[in-house]
Amino acid sequence: MSSHSAFAAASDALAACVLGALDGTGGAVQLARYVDDASDTLAALAAVRVLGADTFSPHLLLEGPLPAQDAAVVAKAFDAFPASGASEEAVVARRDHATAVLFARLSGEDTLRVAEPAPVDDAGPAGPAGWAGWCVRMAQLAPLATLVLDGPVHEAARDGALQLCRGVSRSILRRDFPTAVRLVRWLAWLHHEGVGLPLDPGLVAEHVLLVGGAGPRTALDLAIARHLLERRPGKGVKAAHA
Boundary of a domain, candidates 99, 118, 137 = 118
Q: Is a pLDDT exceeding 60 seen at residue 85? A: no
Question: Is residue 109 domain-shared with residue 29, that is, in the same domain?
Answer: yes
Query: Confidence class of residue 223 from pLDDT cuts 50, 70 and 90?
Result: very high
Name which residue leads in pLDDT, 120 or 134.
134
What single string gives the DSSP state of each residue in 186-206? Answer: HHHHHHHHT---SS-HHHHHH
Say if residue 102 is in the same domain as residue 7: yes
Give CA separation, 219 vs 56, 120, 124, 209, in Å. Answer: 16, 30, 27, 8
Query: What whole-number distance in Å separates Cα of residue 159 and Cα of residue 135?
Result: 13
Q: Answer whether 190's CB lies under 8 Å from 161's CB.
A: yes
Confidence of residue 60 (pLDDT cuts 50, 70, 90): very high
Give the domain range for residue 201. Answer: 122-242
> For residue 237, what pLDDT band results from cuts at 50, 70 and 90?
low
Domain count, the chain: 2
Question: Of 118, 149, 183, which residue sits at a domain end?
Answer: 118
Question: In this predicted structure, what is the pLDDT of residue 242?
Answer: 46
Asked whether residue 172 falls in the same domain as residue 80, the answer is no
> Do 224 and 155 sit in the same domain of this protein?
yes
Please name the residue ranges forming H helices in 28-151.
31-37, 41-51, 57-61, 68-80, 90-107, 131-140
> Is 123 or 42 the better-scoring residue by pLDDT?
42
pLDDT of residue 213: 64
The domain boundary, picked from 84, 118, 152, lies at 118
Q: What is the pTM (predicted TM-score) of this model?
A: 0.91
Q: Does residue 179 sit in the same domain as residue 215?
A: yes
